[in-house]
């Protein structure tokens, strides 16, 4: 039991470091005049999501069941959540499980911010992600992990393919469409201002993802070991696959591309990390790169939307592929939470339920995002900054500070 508690707390710390990692990943990709604003979005969410989780988030996600959609407020303010074993993990205190799940509630809305960097008001973003957590994340967490509707029909999600990645990716696309394009989108090329920051962020994400996936085993056991290996394997396969695609397509592999491949490999294996064989994680990782690359380089330009840092192209599409792949490759012998084997082993029931889970997640995410945007606009009137703020950069316009005060050039 003590070993399980230590593993859950260590995993919680690993997942927490992913959000600063995301800040570096996103921050390095934007213009130098917008890095503070981009990173501040993640910093704010680390505070807001933590307090909101303690007050209502954990209770709404994991306490009781109202219509298979949401929990109740029995554990408001973590009242009654302490050292005693809770209903979710047999060897870990309820409070430790609450801590672990809190870290997921932090990083998920942070993923959305990559779609609207360099043009959304910080105040509007703050209100949006707060409301979004309540109307999208908590219901989905309950439906999948808290005994709600999707769990009841037999859909599975080991560590967040639907709850975290599809929800944030689809919501990111909706927000990008509503906010509109950046001033010079389609007229000039956008280049990352600090590629080493991009890699640093991706490396921290890879490191933290072991807590994200292996920690979702809920104990220091063989399933955690299995999830650890599938996580690393899929990440490695996607990294190499993306580099190969770049070499074929443009003649040169890039560090930004390799970093992107790492992240989408991690995204794709997340829902199936504790359900699929290790060999299948190679296939899942190797295929996610061409799938996401196609959406980012072909579909996105054709449709003309400005998903600035490809939150939808990476997390939305990668999460959809990973959730479907779980329905293809899952084995009940690896994890009995899956009631059926995957499509590759001759059974269709799980595959159909995975498709249903993807569909439900998309519907909830789209509807909840429009609600959250409406509330944000009600309080701030305008969701995006003036053109003049785009010109001078959101670091100065929204925060009054610069990451590079000695730099006098243009970007």
Per residue in 325-368, pLDDT tens?
999 999 999 999 999 999 999 999 999 999 999 999 999 999 99
What's the confidence (pLDDT) of residue 80? 94
Phi/psi for 93 (5° steps) reads -55, 150
Q: Where are the domains of the chain?
A: 2-399
Read off the tokens for 362.
């998309």
What's the confidence (pLDDT) of residue 328? 98
- For 175, the enclosing helix (H) or strand (E) is helix 167-179
**pLDDT of 409 over the 60 cut:** no
Report residue 184's pLDDT band, with 50, 70 and 90 as the boundaries. Answer: confident
Give the 3-state secondary structure of residue 362. Answer: helix
Region class of 349: left (phi > 0), else alpha (psi between -120 and 50), else beta: alpha
Q: How far apart are CA 286 and CA 198, in angstroms?
A: 21
**pLDDT of 188 over the 80 cut:** no
**pLDDT of 187 over the 90 cut:** no
Per residue in 270-279, pLDDT tens?
999 999 999 9
Sorted by sequence, the CB contacts under 8 Å of residue 142 that are 6+ apart come out as 60, 61, 62, 65, 69, 70, 71, 148
Task: Identify which of 298, 204, 290 has the alpha carbon closest to the alpha carbon of residue 240.
Answer: 290
Q: How far apart are CA 380 and CA 385, in angstroms?
A: 11
- Classified by CATH at the fold level, domain 2-399 comes out as Ammonium transporter fold (1.10.3430)
Read off the tokens for 274.
């504790």
- Contact of 117 with 56, CB cutoff 8 Å: no
Read off the tokens for 186.
């389609």
- Contact of 155 with 356, CB cutoff 8 Å: yes
Q: How far apart are CA 365 and CA 167, in angstroms?
A: 5
Give Rg (Cα) of the chain.
Answer: 20
Per residue in 49-104, pLDDT tens?
999 999 999 999 999 999 999 999 999 999 999 999 999 999 999 999 999 999 99
Q: Which of 187-191, 243-247, 249-253, 378-382 has the lowest mean pLDDT?
A: 187-191
The more confidently predicted of residues 251 and 189 is 251
**What's 111-155 look like in SS3?**
HHHHHCCCCECHHHHHHHHHHHHHHHHHHHHHHHHCCCHHHHHCC
One DSSP character per residue, 230-285 reads HHHHHHHHHHHHHHHHHHHHHS---HHHHHHHHHHHHHHHGGGTTTS-HHHHHHHH
What's the confidence (pLDDT) of residue 411? 58
What's the confidence (pLDDT) of residue 407? 66
Task: Identify which of 27, 208, 15, 205 has the alpha carbon closest to the alpha carbon of residue 114.
Answer: 27
Q: What is the mean pLDDT of residues 35-51?
A: 98
Task: Give CA separation, 195 vs 24, 34, 120, 203, 309, in Å.
Answer: 10, 15, 23, 12, 13
Arithmetic mean of pLDDT over the chain: 96
């Amino acid at each position: 039991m003590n070993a399980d508690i230590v593993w859950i707390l260590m995993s919680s710390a690993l997942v927490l470091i992913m959000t600063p990692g995301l800040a570096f990943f996103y921050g390095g990709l934007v213009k130098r005049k917008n890095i503070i604003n981009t990173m501040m979005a993640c910093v704010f969410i680390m505070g807001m999501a933590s307090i909101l989780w303690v007050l209502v988030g954990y209770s709404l996600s994991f306490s009781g069941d109202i219509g298979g959609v949401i929990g109740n407020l029995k554990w408001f303010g973590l009242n009654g959540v302490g050292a005693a074993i809770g209903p979710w993990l047999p060897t870990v205190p309820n409070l430790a499980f609450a801590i672990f799940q809190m870290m997921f509630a932090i990083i998920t809305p942070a993923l959305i911010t990559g779609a609207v960097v360099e043009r959304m008001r910080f105040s509007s973003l703050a209100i949006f992600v707060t409301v979004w957590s309540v109307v999208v994340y908590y219901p989905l967490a309950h439906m999948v992990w808290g005994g709600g509707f999707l769990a009841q029909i037999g859909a599975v999600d080991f560590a967040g393919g639907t709850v975290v990645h599809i929800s944030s990716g689809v919501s990111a696309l909706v927000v990008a469409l509503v906010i509109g394009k950046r001033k010079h989108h389609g007229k000039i090329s956008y280049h990352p201002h600090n590629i080493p920051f991009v890699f640093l962020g991706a490396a921290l994400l890879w490191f933290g993802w072991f807590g994200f996936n292996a920690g979702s085993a809920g104990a220091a056991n063989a399933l955690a070991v299995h999830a650890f290996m599938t996580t690393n394997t899929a990440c490695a396969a996607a990294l190499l696959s993306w580099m190969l695609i770049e070499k074929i397509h443009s003649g040169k592999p890039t560090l930004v591309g390799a970093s992107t491949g790492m992240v989408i490999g991690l995204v794709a294996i997340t829902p199936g990390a504790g359900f699929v064989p290790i060999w299948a994680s190679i296939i899942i990782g190797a295929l996610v790169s061409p799938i996401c690359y196609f959406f980012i380089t072909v579909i996105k330009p054709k449709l003309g939307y400005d998903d600035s840092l490809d939150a939808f192209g990476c997390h939305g599409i990668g999460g959809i592929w990973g959730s479907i792949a779980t329905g293809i490759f899952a084995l009940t012998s690896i994890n009995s939470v899956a009631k059926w084997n995957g499509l590759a082993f001759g059974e269709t029931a799980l595959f159909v339920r995975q498709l249903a889970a993807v569909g439900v997640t998309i519907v909830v995410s789209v509807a909840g995002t429009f609600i959250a945007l409406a509330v944000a606009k009600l309080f701030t009137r305008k969701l995006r900054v003036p053109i003049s703020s785009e010109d001078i950069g959101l670091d100065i316009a929204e925060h009054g500070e610069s990451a590079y005060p000695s730099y006098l050039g243009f970007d």
